[in-house]
Amino acid sequence: MELKDLRKTSIWKMEKLELNFSVDCVLFTILEKKLKVLLNRPFPEMGHFLPGGFIMADEDSDAAAIRILYQRTGVNHIFLKQFRTFTDPDRFSYAELFQRLGMEQQIMDELPLLPERVISIGYFALVNAELIHPTGGEYQENTSWGDAEQLPQLSLDHASIIKQALDALRRELYFKPVLYNLLPEKFTMPELQTLYEIILGKSLDRGSFQRKMLRWDIYERLEERKTGVAHKRPFLYRFNREKYDRAQQQGIHFAM
Amino acid sequence: MELKDLRKTSIWKMEKLELNFSVDCVLFTILEKKLKVLLNRPFPEMGHFLPGGFIMADEDSDAAAIRILYQRTGVNHIFLKQFRTFTDPDRFSYAELFQRLGMEQQIMDELPLLPERVISIGYFALVNAELIHPTGGEYQENTSWGDAEQLPQLSLDHASIIKQALDALRRELYFKPVLYNLLPEKFTMPELQTLYEIILGKSLDRGSFQRKMLRWDIYERLEERKTGVAHKRPFLYRFNREKYDRAQQQGIHFAM
């Protein structure tokens, strides 16, 4: 094969995959009162990975994130939000990966040209674990929820990607009402506060929290109170769907 | 040159540039009470571009953004914030660009292999126009401030990148005190409000604005009032530097 023929095929791609553009998906949930993140373990000889993969030639990264999350974990219909792109020249090396996986030098020499740098575009979402069902996807990978505060051994720079996704999620929390899917239809302020505390990783002052929440004007206080609790029965609230949707669109603080 | 030799050189790069990773810098300022954005016009036969370029083999995108902004515009020492990566497969085409610039087919056929997709990582900053001095950089490009609300003709997807950078800036405004560099040491609440209104592109209610601002607890009211104004002389404020730095670090709303 001569150089000029090669120029006509595209060696910037292999099997329609763009070998230097990947996406990584950070899917958070709350389980057993802890913040968890969905992990894959495609290679037993290496640590966990975020569900990730290469962008295809005809798709943008938003479409790639949805497809890859589904292929890797079986989880579908999730709105994933782009939060940051990871570009460190040393973050990923095909040669190093293949060596870690025990590939023989002779096979590596036969491989097509591979890029020296792979950048990864990070996406995150916060989901209700009861509504999604990770199956390991079509690759039948070992898929599990890891504890975001005490992560297991992770491959590549994926621990750092999770940390930055968590920063993005925490920031989103102050800006948009992202907890809708994690709450029952009717809920109490202490229940809402618990979710915030789990995600923020710290205790919040009860009075100050409630004042802030009510100032957002997206919750409706019902005439009912929670039953079956020992002491003072707290009021029940629900989202005002119209105001919630507007806040989702515009951000809470845009109502300046 | 045989394929196996080619494998040893890197055709994923040319002259140490990664030809499929670019950055674009959206530098905002306020001039003549309008929001402006810094533009280049490297080719008279095409519309304006954002100051942008390719990442080098040994740098990450943060370093590339700072270097490229300097090379293209002469502007240095700016903290640029990554806000979004643009990955549409059709957003950029070398062939199309070279055609637009009138390159002959024969020369194009002689070019080295070029990637079919170039993604761009967007960065933005809000700066004080009086403190920076765009010179056109080392490429001596036609550099000018364009009106963000009434942009001139832009090349590629750069109008869309600016729009999304503006969304990111507006969001930042509610989250961090980003206006420090745009205000004199002592300023009035109406002066602060005017900056917010210019960036947000809408009028704000005066009472509600002041209450929100003071609730952030980063401004100190001085015992002085503004002189030389016709009617009621408004109080002067200044940033409390310690509280400002903390808010910069943690975000304003993290003090929940």
Residue B120 neighbours by CB distance under 10 Å: 26
CB contact under 8 A, A117 and B21: yes
pLDDT tens for the 256 residues of chain B, in order: 333 333 333 344 556 888 899 999 999 999 999 999 999 998 888 999 999 999 998 999 999 999 999 999 999 989 899 999 999 999 999 889 888 888 888 888 777 778 889 999 999 999 998 888 898 888 778 899 999 999 999 999 999 999 999 999 988 887 777 788 898 899 999 999 999 999 999 999 999 889 888 888 889 999 888 877 667 788 999 999 888 888 777 766 544 4
**pLDDT computed for residue B252 by the predictor:** 60
Q: Fold for B180-254, please state it.
A: Arc Repressor Mutant, subunit A (1.10.10)
Percent with pLDDT over 90 in chain B? 52
- Domain positions in chain A are 3-173, 180-254
The predicted structure's pLDDT at residue A214: 86
Query: Which residues in B lie closer than 8 A to residue A120 (C-beta atoms)?
Result: none
CB-based contact, B12 to chain A, within 8 Å: yes
Provide the shortest C-alpha distance from residue B143 to chain A (in Å): 28
Domain B10-173 architecture: Alpha-Beta Complex (3.90)
Check residue B255 and give its pLDDT: 41
Q: Does A217 touch chain B (CB under 8 A)?
A: no
What is the Cα B25 distance to its own chain's centre? 5
Amino acid, single-letter form, for residue A31? L
CA B96 vs. chain centroid, Å, equals 26
* Fold match, A3-173 / A180-254: no
Distance from C-alpha of A187 to C-alpha of A236, rounded to nearest angstrom: 5
Residue B10: which of A12, A116, A119 has the nearest Cβ?
A: A116
Q: Does B216 touch chain A (CB under 8 A)?
A: no
Q: What's residue A8's pLDDT? A: 34
pLDDT-derived band at A166, boundaries 50, 70, 90: very high
Task: Work out the average pLDDT over A149-163.
Answer: 96
**B251: Cβ contacts below 8 Å, ≥ 6 apart:** A171, A174, B175, B176
Q: Determine the average pLDDT of the residues in A225-252.
A: 80
Identify the sign of the CA torsion A121, A125, A130, A131: negative
Inform me whether the C-beta atom of residue A76 falls under 8 Å from chain B C-beta atoms: no
Q: B59 contacts in A (CB within 8 Å)?
A: 89
- What's the DSSP call for residue B46? S
pLDDT value of residue B251: 66
Chain A positions touching B256 (Cβ under 8 A) are 174, 196, 200, 204, 208-209, 212
**CB–CB of A142/A43 below 8 Å?**
no
Chain A residues in contact with B113 by the CB 8 A cut-off are 6-7, 11-12
**Residue among B60, B121, B170 minimizing CB distance to A88:** B60
Please state the rounded mean pLDDT for residues A182-194.
Answer: 92
Contact B61 A85 (CB under 8 A): yes
A212 shares contact with chain B (CB less than 8 Å):
yes
Q: How close B114 comes to chain A (CA, Å)?
A: 8
Distance from the Cα of A186 to chain B's closest Cα (Å) equals: 23
How far apart are the C-alpha atoms of B202 and B196, rounded to whole Å? 9
DSSP H/E element including B88: none
Instruction: Flag if A21 and B254 touch (Cβ within 8 Å).
Output: no
Task: Report chain B residues whose CB lies below 8 A from the CB of A207.
Answer: none
Taking each helix axis from N to C terminus, what angle separates B189-200 and B206-215, rounded to the nearest 10 degrees? 100
A1 — pLDDT class (breaks 50, 70, 90): very low
| Overall residue count recorded for chain B in this entry | 256
Please say whether the beta carbons of B73 and B182 come within 8 A: no
- The answer to whether the CB atoms of A3 and B7 lie below 8 A apart is no
Q: What percent of chain A has pLDDT over 70?
A: 91
Among B20, B87, B116, beta carbon nearest to A60: B87
Range with the poorest average pLDDT among A44-53, A112-121, B7-16, B168-177: B7-16
The confidence band for A15, taking pLDDT boundaries of 50, 70 and 90, is low
Q: Is pLDDT above 50 for A185?
A: yes
State the pLDDT confidence band at A227, using cuts at 50, 70 and 90. Answer: confident
* Interface contact B174-A256, CB threshold 8 A: yes
Does the beta-carbon distance from B21 to A55 stay under 8 Å? Answer: no
Sort out which chain A residues have CB atoms less than 8 A from B7's CB and list them. 113
Provide CATH code, domain A3-173: 3.90.79.10
